[in-house]
Chains A and B, each alone.
Chain A
């Protein structure tokens, strides 16, 4: 399976099959939405203000769902400004394929850079989160 190892790693497959942040929470302050009309993928994110806690309802591919999960891990407890900073770093990493130590587990998605058509899958949760934070301003 070596030809797929660089993209569909264990961490990605594990988080796709066993999501920890899926579903609408009882309590949230902001919500945002992301759509990919190319493939019908969609994600709705819920954000709680007390430290940024993110949940998501997603319908889409493994890359999108894993990205949403790893994003929710990464932004937990961050301020909104720090979230914006993380998004910038994530998008730079996804476009270049160069892992960035500050991104931790998110670097598991660096292989997506080889697939121009799939970058949108990985960045869709972050667009939805930005949409939610836009509403928070």
Chain B
């Protein structure tokens, strides 16, 4: 059943050679990494780019009048251009660097949320959100008096548009905040349709792109997204760097998030005035090395190309759904029409943590637990699941190893 995936433009063996960690063994077994949805491994190009900054091209950015600082500032700002192009933003000043997607969403809640939403306005999130797209809105609700509404998903794991109509019916909704791809179900949401739906009703749309941005070409202008967020570390980049995209006119009206250096245009003891976006939202010395790592990660993914990544992911997902469905007592969560390389499952009479530990002993890394989506677990009627998630380096053999590993789990619990 297994077949090495090889297309003209996609050589998975060559890609695996780019990731030094994949040659490791775990418990004396070949390392099968199926937890890229939590955090992806890093290619040599990213590692080298970060080492190069520290060895040859490092100083603080935007400050020094010296050669090294200017070169470092250029390298840092080049990543903003690259990221703008990566998302097809209208301009580089629409890209703000944060620590991660969680910080991006908190930034929006804290600034846009407090300045542009009024008590009595409503925010809608879906039943399949990560805690990062729930908790900041709860905090805003509690401090600012906005209402938080939850749009239902169908049993297949898709946004329920009838429920969405209902949530928007009274005209109070000003923001729709939804995932672009569920970190539990692998569902891609119909983002163009959702954006149109929100805009026709006078609301803005925020998309959590943490999972989607790894697998698909994202065009924020084609989607007509008002806000789009993602983390560098799931995109084969380093931890500590995230991205917030927002439309220029929205950013210009937003007050600052954190105060400090770099985000001001002038400071006196009486008052300070704010820099223009994006710098207004980047107080203090940024994650320079990590940002440059993100730039290398974007280059790496674009060199492979999203069309090839999509073919690879489709093949892996189809294969995984087929082989996992053949395992008696195993239940795959969700059955969305448009789904990608994230598959959660449960097994009769075996707790997800036992699945993960038994797989780990065979060198196979999966995630188990509630995946930072406890409300979704409640909706699905489970307390925890095991999850396999794929990256560009995932092979058909990895999935076959998972299936074989799960059969052994079944034996232990038989």
Is A39 in contact with B361, judged by CB distance below 8 angstroms? no
Is B369 in contact with A38, judged by CB distance below 8 angstroms? yes
Residues of B within 8 A of A104 (CB): none
Is A118 in contact with B412, judged by CB distance below 8 angstroms? no
- Given contacts A39-B353, A39-B384, A115-B357, A4 and B412 within 8 Å (CB-CB): yes
Is B362 in contact with A1, judged by CB distance below 8 angstroms? no
Q: Does residue B358 face the partner (Cβ distance < 8 Å to A)?
A: yes
Q: Does residue A3 face the partner (Cβ distance < 8 Å to B)?
A: yes
Is B351 in contact with A62, judged by CB distance below 8 angstroms? yes
Is A63 in contact with B352, judged by CB distance below 8 angstroms? no
- Name the interface residues of A68-115: CB closer than 8 Å to any CB of B: 115
CB-based nearest A residue for B27: A3
- Given contacts A62-B354, A118-B357, A40 and B384 within 8 Å (CB-CB): yes
CB-based nearest A residue for B353: A61
Q: Does residue B383 face the partner (Cβ distance < 8 Å to A)?
A: yes
- Given contacts A3-B361, A60-B351, A61-B354, A40 and B377 within 8 Å (CB-CB): yes
Cβ contact of A62, chosen from B360, B377, B411, B413, cutoff 8 A:
B413
- Name the interface residues of A32-79: CB closer than 8 Å to any CB of B: 38-41, 59-63
Q: Does residue A121 face the partner (Cβ distance < 8 Å to B)?
A: yes
Report the Cα distance A8→B357, complex, angstroms.
Answer: 10
Report the Cα distance A63→B383, complex, angstroms.
Answer: 16
CB-based nearest A residue for B378: A40
Report the Cα distance A1→B414, complex, angstroms.
Answer: 13
Interface residues on A, range: 10 to 19
Shortest beta-carbon distance from A58 to chain B in Å: 11
User: Interface centre among B358, B374, B411, by most A CB within 10 Å?
Assistant: B358
CB-based nearest B residue for A42: B383
Report the Cα distance A13→B350, complex, angstroms.
Answer: 11
Residues of B within 8 A of A61 (CB): 351-354
Residues of B within 8 A of A22 (CB): none
CB-based nearest B residue for A60: B351
User: Interface centre among B352, B361, B362, by most A CB within 10 Å?
Assistant: B361
Report the Cα distance A61→B354, complex, angstroms.
Answer: 6
Chain B 339-382 interface mask (CB, 8 Å, partner A; 1/0): 00000000000111110011011100000111000100100000
Q: Does residue B71 face the partner (Cβ distance < 8 Å to A)?
A: no
Q: Does residue B167 face the partner (Cβ distance < 8 Å to A)?
A: no
Residues of A within 8 A of B29 (CB): 3
Residues of B within 8 A of A40 (CB): 369-370, 374, 377, 383-384
Is B352 in contact with A39, judged by CB distance below 8 angstroms? yes
Shortest beta-carbon distance from B370 to chain A in Å: 6
- Given contacts A118-B353, A121-B353, A1 and B377 within 8 Å (CB-CB): no
Residues of B within 8 A of A4 (CB): 358, 361, 408, 412
Report the Cα distance A115→B356, complex, angstroms.
Answer: 11
- Given contacts A40-B377, A63-B354, A1 and B413 within 8 Å (CB-CB): no
CB-based nearest A residue for B350: A62
Residues of A within 8 A of B383 (CB): 39-41, 59
- Name the interface residues of B148-181: CB closer than 8 Å to any CB of A: none
Report the Cα distance A118→B383, complex, angstroms.
Answer: 17
Is A39 in contact with B357, judged by CB distance below 8 angstroms? no
Residues of B within 8 A of A121 (CB): 353
Shortest beta-carbon distance from B57 to chain A in Å: 38
Report the Cα distance A8→B354, complex, angstroms.
Answer: 9
CB-based nearest B residue for A38: B369
Report the Cα distance A59→B384, complex, angstroms.
Answer: 11
In the A-B complex, list the 6 residue pairs whose CB atoms are closest, starting with the nearest: A40-B383, A61-B351, A3-B361, A61-B353, A62-B354, A61-B354
Task: List chain A positions with a Cβ less than 8 A from chain B.
Answer: 1, 3-4, 7-8, 13, 38-41, 59-63, 115, 118, 121
- Other A-B contacts than A8-B412, A61-B353, A115-B357, 17 sampled, CB-CB below 8 A, are A4-B358, A4-B408, A8-B354, A39-B351, A39-B368, A39-B369, A39-B384, A40-B370, A40-B374, A40-B383, A40-B384, A41-B351, A59-B383, A60-B351, A62-B350, A62-B351, A62-B354
Task: List chain B positions with a Cβ less than 8 A from chain A.
Answer: 27, 29, 350-354, 357-358, 360-362, 368-370, 374, 377, 383-384, 408, 411-413
15 residue pairs A–B, Cβ–Cβ below 8 Å: A3-B362, A4-B361, A7-B361, A38-B369, A39-B370, A39-B383, A39-B384, A40-B384, A41-B351, A60-B351, A61-B353, A115-B357, A115-B360, A118-B353, A118-B357
